[in-house]
């Protein structure tokens, strides 16, 4: 966990201050949102996404001297790599499985895809680059905004937009009709746009 992978998403080329590990705390809402997309429901009673994120952030702070990147995109990719390791470690412990590098790489890819979808929501929201603040600030804001939605709306938005599930799959996951899920998504996105416009 000491190398800095290149970001697989568009990421931000904004240079960051790599001398202070306290910068990691800013990305806690982003990591918590990603963790919620990948922590299996069966595990959530045993360990919540917040606990998982705290462990990942602690490791990131302790290993910050080993981070070799200079941009925000590289930092986000590095944090996702650490989070993927922790999620796979949890999965392995609960199933008594051996470590599987391929599973960790697959988890990293899934987290990167969710991150790209999150960035896609942002790109769709802001018509021109001049109306954007820094990518990291936007990612943090939208992560916090999704977390503030009512649970049913937050789950629907997360499953559909960040995990890429079809409407029918979200409906099955939440035990609701597709019409009800469509309503949750409509209200959730309307609230998100309103919050982000403020």
pLDDT at 171: 93
Structural domain range at position 20: 7-133
Write out pLDDT tens, residues 166-180: 999 999 988 999 999
Percent of the chain at pLDDT exceeding 70: 68
Task: Say if 117 falls within a structural domain.
Answer: yes
Write out pLDDT tens, residues 141-165: 888 888 899 989 998 988 888 888 8
Task: Say if 138 falls within a structural domain.
Answer: no
Q: Are residues 56 and 91 in the same domain?
A: yes
Q: Are residues 84 and 154 in the same domain?
A: no
Q: Are residues 168 and 75 in the same domain?
A: no
Number of domains the chain contains: 2
pLDDT at 8: 42
Quick one: tokens of 68?
């070799």
Task: Say if 154 falls within a structural domain.
Answer: yes
pLDDT at 178: 95
Task: Say if 158 falls within a structural domain.
Answer: yes
pLDDT at 10: 44
CA atoms of 136 and 71, how far apart (whole Å): 11
* Structure confidence at residue 43 as a pLDDT band (50, 70, 90): low
Q: Are residues 169 and 83 in the same domain?
A: no
- Torsion, Cα 157 158 160 165, to 10 degrees, reads -160
Domain end point (choices 101, 133, 165): 133
CA atoms of 54 and 22, how far apart (whole Å): 13
Quick one: tokens of 95?
């199933």
Write out pLDDT tens, residues 79-105: 988 988 887 777 665 555 555 555 556
Task: Say if 97 falls within a structural domain.
Answer: yes
Summarize the confidence of residues 57-80 as an average pLDDT: 88
Q: Are residues 79 and 103 in the same domain?
A: yes
Task: Say if 190 falls within a structural domain.
Answer: yes
Q: Are residues 21 and 117 in the same domain?
A: yes
Task: Say if 141 falls within a structural domain.
Answer: no
pLDDT at 168: 94
- Enter the DSSP assignment of 15: B
Q: Are residues 19 and 47 in the same domain?
A: yes
Summarize the confidence of residues 117-132 as an average pLDDT: 54
Q: Are residues 190 and 161 in the same domain?
A: yes
For the domain that residue 175 is a member of, what is the CATH number? 1.10.10.10
More confident residue, 18 or 191: 191
Q: Are residues 180 and 90 in the same domain?
A: no
| Residue 59 predicted with pLDDT over 60 | yes
Domain end point (choices 133, 166, 188): 133
Question: CB neighbours (10 Å) of residue 72?
Answer: 23
Give first-to-last CA distance, the chain, whole Å: 38
């Amino acid at each position: 966990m000491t190398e800095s992978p290149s970001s697989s998403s568009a990421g931000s080329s904004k240079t960051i201050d790599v001398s202070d590990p306290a910068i990691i705390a800013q990305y806690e809402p982003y990591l918590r949102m990603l963790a919620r997309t990948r922590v299996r429901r069966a595990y959530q009673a045993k360990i919540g996404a917040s606990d998982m994120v705290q462990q990942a952030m602690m490791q990131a702070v302790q290993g910050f001297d080993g981070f070799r990147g200079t941009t925000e995109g590289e930092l986000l990719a590095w944090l996702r790599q650490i989070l993927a390791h922790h999620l796979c470690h949890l999965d392995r412990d609960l199933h008594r499985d051996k470590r599987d590098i391929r599973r960790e790489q697959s988890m990293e890819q899934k987290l990167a895809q969710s991150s790209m979808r999150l960035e896609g929501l942002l790109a769709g929201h802001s018509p021109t680059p001049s109306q954007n603040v820094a990518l990291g600030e936007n990612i943090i804001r939208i992560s916090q905004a999704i977390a503030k939605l009512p649970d049913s709306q937050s789950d629907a938005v997360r499953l559909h937009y960040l995990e890429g599930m079809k409407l029918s799959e979200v409906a099955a996951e939440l035990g609701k009709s597709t019409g009800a899920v469509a309503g949750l998504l409509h209200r959730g996105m309307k609230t998100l746009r309103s919050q982000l416009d403020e």
